[in-house]
Structure 1
Amino acid sequence: MAGATISGPGSNIDTQAIVASLVAAERAPKQTQINTQTLKATTSLSSLGKIQAALDAFRGALDNMKTASSFSGLSGSSSDEKVATVTTGNGAAAGSFALTVTQLATASKISTKVFAGGASSVVNAGTGPTSLNIKQGSNTFTVSVPAGATLQQVRDSINSQYTNQGLSANIVTDANGSRMVLTSTTTGVGSDLTVTGDSGLETGVTVLAPPQNALYTLDGLSMESKTNTIADAVSGVTIKLIGASVVPASGTATPTSITVAASGANLKSSVKGFVDSYNALIKAANAETQVTTAADGKVTSGALTGDASLRALLSAVRTELNSMAGTGQLKALSQFGVQTDQKTGTLSINDKLFDAAALTNAADINGIFSGDNGLLARMKTATDSFALSKTGVFAARSASLSDSLTALKKQQDNLDERMVSLQASLSAKYTAMDSLVARLRAQGDSVMATLNAINKASSSDN
């Protein structure tokens, strides 16, 4: 063999190449099996993860659409959004209301005494820690004030611990010095802030602003709210108070008109939201089951082509999609322009059909989607068994594939160990063979030397 390395000095045979070939031949079948199964499991696990993510997104969108209840086809508006804004939800009905806002709900705001040395003034001049307790109703926010702590450090400690709980602290400085101002995001009468403890900050506290309720009238009825977001005054309507109504020189405020009315655009936007969410799930499934044909005619199947679990999921959602629902004249999506592409399974909206149906049968469209037996609820129920994070169909499949990959890793380790052992064994055998050949060759050379000597001696005698 040209260029071969002669590793057996006795036999002049490349024993290393022979051993490597034998080991490779022994490894090949099992290695091919492990590689094939590992690639398939890894690819399937990745594809299942994508389907799970798409399913979770779809179910999340269903929850959002159920909460928003925008399939009612109603939308809220305010004639003066500087006074109030409006959103509609479950239970909303068409109507209009006159709103006048006298005052907004406000939060408690208090100030500590003035520290002449400014923000760097030492609050705790002692040798041990003290405590500042900030109370609001049944809640107590406790702040430890270490020895030598400054006003700025106490402020930072309050904000780092309690900003997310609606309590904040700021330092206000003027010619007299600095003071810490405490503010709460909780509004309404009864949410007063008070301070106790032994930090020294609890003395000389000033109330800058007591909490107060929002005062307003709705269709002439005087009402109060502890917050500026009013969700229970009108069923299904949330009113967010932004500012007090303007009182002109005449002394009578002009009411803000709150209107809840049918909106075809709002209804169409909701249906489109459902269509887009559904299509995202279908496209994710199509991507993982697609069969492609290369230019050379080679056919490649998707990782989940023919997968029974995915087929079951798609069958479940399509069954609900095609089911008749509602109590009105329209009971199917196709009747108001939602059409299915027979090739891809995705949905689209025929604008002309939808606009005509929404104009006269908006309540029917709402009935198909909303309610305990509506499409949104049924879709959520139909996908429950597939989406559960630990016991769902896809979670179980993913766990099984992960176990398979672990087992394949163990098989790979065992194969590697076995091949190392085989290589060592074969190397030892071929080394022994080479040594035997070397000894036989040496003996042969010795015999030939003796015979040559005898022949030479015989020739000399003649």
Structure 2
Amino acid sequence: MASTIVSSIGQGTGLNITEMVDALVSADTAAKKAQITRQTNNNTAMISGVGSLRSALTTFQDAMKKLNDSSAPSFNAYAATSANESVVKVTSGNSAVPGSYNIVVKQLATGSKVASQQFAGGSSSAITSGELTVSQGGKSYKIDVANGATLESVRDQINKELGVQGISANIVNGDGGSRLVLSSTTTGAGSDLSLSGIPELEIDGTQQMAGSGAGYITAKAQDAELTIDGLTVKSAKNTIENAVSGMKMELTGVSTQTNGVGNPTSVTVAQDNEGLKKSVQAFVDAYNALQTTITALTSTSKDENDNLVLGPLTNDPTTRSLVGDIRKVLSEVGSGDQLTTLSQLGINTTKEGTLEFNSTKFTAAMNDKKLGSEVQELFTGTNGLFERMNKAIDPYNATDGSLATRKANLDKVAKNLEDQQAALERRTESLTESLTKKYVAMDTMVAKLNAQANQIKSVFDAINAQAKGS
């Protein structure tokens, strides 16, 4: 570096060489340095802006996905409640009808659980090789048992090959020996397990085991049985759909009895305006959060010196296009019957671009116009608002969308600017060193000339002195 070549003040000229060199280097590089700094700041702001926009879009899409969760529908017009969820849990859909029902659960649906004969040798007992057939409900599954098999290896083979069918096996070690125990997640009468093909593993799942023999353990598989307002209903599963129109029941226990009569559990289906209102408000809030972020990224402001300050995405054509596509979805007419626009629910766009929700108009749409059953279709139905909104956003926010491409291009610009900055720093260092050497050489030459001049002056001074003395 130049600072190691010479001190700041030249010995020959008396000039501050360091300051002169810095001034010349700055004059040569200042414009390029300012350009790189300005472009870097703008590019960094745009990268940050694109990142913030993508994050806001993802949050908005996640909110719509949550509201469209099929396991917990958010736009059901009706809500079903159970007075005793330890007996029956209930949910309802838009096809439900308001009303009350008395439910008595006599028995739950159960699956088959069977055991083999006892093996005195425990889990290591040898099993004859051959083809073991596991049958259930008219279906059969074949398992090839190899030579040298044991009760334990057969258990593992069943679990590996039939686990996907909901059939599992284990070994229970009891008095007198070990048994291979099989159970199934399939419920309902007629789903009893049976094993055949290998003599010592044969099990008739419809016969109760006795002594050391094989059979079902406690009871055969059975259907659920219940009454709804006194009418008998049977089901192979404990989850029953549409026994009451639009209502799903999950049987969780058997009803208690009084004097041998089952105690009924009251189930009620009623209009759920508050639930719908909460879901609609959640959408409005999610959209407004997105719009607030977009406004912050695209708006202009004034600094303390009254200079105009642009947002990182102000006048950005991609963002303008995105906003236009999203707002177009809000104004489109849906495919519903009576309910086709958001304004019918009291949702309107403000001049700031956000949504406002008029709860009074919403309540009137629910109570007076009876539009509750159509809200789900408007938002989550085929070609509903959510589907159209995602179609509008995906070209921008997908992993290969325009915003991802934009980010990649901005990253390339950032790398190019870093390379330019590195090149400028190398030029600054080289120019500083070159100019310093030149001025040091000049200063050295001036110092030599000054020394020669002083020597000549000394000679003349000596001659003059001698002349005066003579």
TM-score interval, normalised by the smaller of the two chains: 0.7 to 0.9
The correspondence for 2:392, drawn from 373, 382, 388, is 382
Distance 1:105 1:50 in 2: 53
- After superposition, where does 1:184-333 map in structure 2 within 5 Å? 188=187, 215-217=224-226, 219-225=231-237, 237-250=247-260, 252-333=261-342
Aligned-residue offset at 1:297: 2.3
1:103 and 2:103 correspond = no
Match among 354, 364, 378 for residue 362 of structure 2: 354
Contact 2:111 2:183 in 1 (8 A): no
Cα RMSD (Å): 4.3
Tell me, what secondary structure is at the counterpart of 1:76?
strand
- Do 1:134 and 1:140's aligned partners in 2 also have CA atoms closer than 8 Å? no
Q: Distance in 1 between matches of 2:418 and 2:329?
A: 42
1:68-90 deviations in Å (ceiling 9; x for gaps) = 4433412222232221222345x
How many angstroms apart in 1 are the aligned matches of 2:413 and 2:245? Answer: 55
What is the SS of the residue equivalent to 2:89?
Answer: strand
- Aligned pair 1:27/2:29, yes or no? yes
The number of aligned residues is 400
Q: Report deviation, 1:231.
A: 6.2
Deviations 1:377-412 (A, max 9, x none): 21121212112112x111111111111111111111
> Which digits, 9 at most, give the CA deviation of each residue in 1:195-252, with x for residues without a partner?
xxxxxxxxxxxx9999967724365221122xx55568778654333322223332x3
Cα distance in structure 2, aligned partners of 1:139 and 1:429: 88
> 1:78, 1:84 within 8 Å by CA — same for their partners in 2?
yes
Does the 8 Å CA contact 1:107/1:191 hold for their aligned counterparts? yes
Q: 1:44 to 1:265 in 2, by over 3 A?
A: same
Q: Distance in 2 between matches of 1:296 and 1:191?
A: 84
Return closer, same or farther for 1:100/1:404 CA change in 2, 3 Å cut-off: farther
Matched, 1:47 2:25: no
Structure 2 residue ranges without an equivalent (≥5): 1-6, 120-151, 171-180, 194-215
Alpha-carbon deviation of 1:106?
7.5
Q: TM-score, normalised by structure 2?
A: 0.72
Q: Distance in 2 between matches of 1:138 and 1:105?
A: 23
CA distance in 2, matches of 1:263, 1:255: 24
What is the distance in 1 between the residues matched to 2:41 and 2:218?
67
Q: What's 1:371 paired with?
A: 381
Q: Residue 67 of structure 1 aligns to a residue in which SS?
A: coil
2:96 maps to 1:93: yes
Q: 1:393 corresponds to which residue?
A: 402
Distance of aligned partners of 1:140 and 1:340 in 2 relative to their CA distance in 1, 3 Å threshold? closer
Work out whether residues 84 and 242 of structure 1, in 8 Å CA contact, stay in contact via their aligned partners in 2: yes
Deviations 1:348-388 (A, max 9, x none): 21111110111133244444324212222211212121121
For each residue in 1:53-102, what CA deviation from the matched residue of structure 2 results, as whole angstroms up to 9, or x when unmatched? 1111222222333334433412222232221222345x743366654431
Counterpart of 2:314 in structure 1: which amino acid?
Answer: T
Partner of residue 13, structure 1: 15
Q: For residues 232 and 357 of structure 1, do their structure 2 counterparts lie closer, same or farther at Cα, with a shift above 3 Å needed?
A: closer
Provide the secondary structure at the position in 1 that maps to 2:50. Answer: helix
Q: What's the secondary structure of 2:250's corresponding residue?
A: strand
State which drifts further: 365-374 or 419-428.
365-374
Structure possessing the higher radius of gyration over alpha carbons = 2
TM-score (norm 1): 0.73
Point out where structure 1 has 5 or more consecutive residues left out of the alignment. Answer: 114-129, 142-164, 170-181, 193-206
User: Which secondary structure state, in structure 2, belongs to the residue aligned with residue 243 of structure 1?
Assistant: coil
